[in-house]
Amino acid sequence: MTENMPKYSRILVGTDGSPLAGPTVRRAVSIAASNEADVVIVCAYTAISDRDAASAPEIAATKYATMGQVPGVAAATDALERAVDVAEGTGVRVAAALLVDGEPAEALLEAAKQYRVDALVLGAIRDTSIVGRLLGNVASDVVRRAHRDVLIVRPPEEGDEEAAAEAAGKPAAEAAGEV
């Protein structure tokens, strides 16, 4: 059955520099490598003043940024550079690395269309809050609106050492201290 599955030629991954961004980027890069595909990396941010960013980054994040949006171009640039390093470190070609001042879902969908990607890879926490259910989140918005395959990477469940090791990019035995 898998022999009839089309190969991906270009995969888009969203990054925001969060703890889930690393495993998400690694998953996208792994899929790209196994398909001999390129990656497009997107980081959506919101502009904030240097003063606000330097004085209290965590307050700036909640004051200016929406969910999935990086507060400030400096933090977004750092997140994007880390994702590019992961891709290039595994030999996967980066077709584009985009900093987008805007809403994350819109930025991802527009880049997917512009770069004609075959699939999107996004991280998503399990948001069960009333706000998350009423307003939605980036991943659910993208899933509803995308006309391409979408893979959602979840954080490992508590107590799942093997999944936590994979998320950290380490063999399970090494993460458990056995190596």
Predicted pLDDT at 155: 84
Residue ranges per domain, the chain?
A: 2-175
Predicted pLDDT at 48: 72
| E strands in the chain | 10-14, 38-46, 70-71, 94-101, 119-123, 149-153
- The pLDDT confidence band at residue 174, using thresholds 50, 70 and 90, is very low
Predicted pLDDT at 161: 55
pLDDT digits (tens, 9 = 90+) for 96-147: 999 999 999 999 999 999 999 999 999 987 665 554 554 458 888 999 999 9
More confident residue, 61 or 7: 7
**Pick from 149, 13, 157, 17: nearest CA to 90:** 13
For residues 32-46, average pLDDT: 96
Distance between CA 58 and CA 90 in Å, rounded?
32
Distance between CA 121 and CA 8 in Å, rounded?
12
Coil vs helix vs strand at 7: coil
- The pLDDT confidence band at residue 2, using thresholds 50, 70 and 90, is low
Q: What is the CATH number of domain 2-175?
A: 3.40.50.620
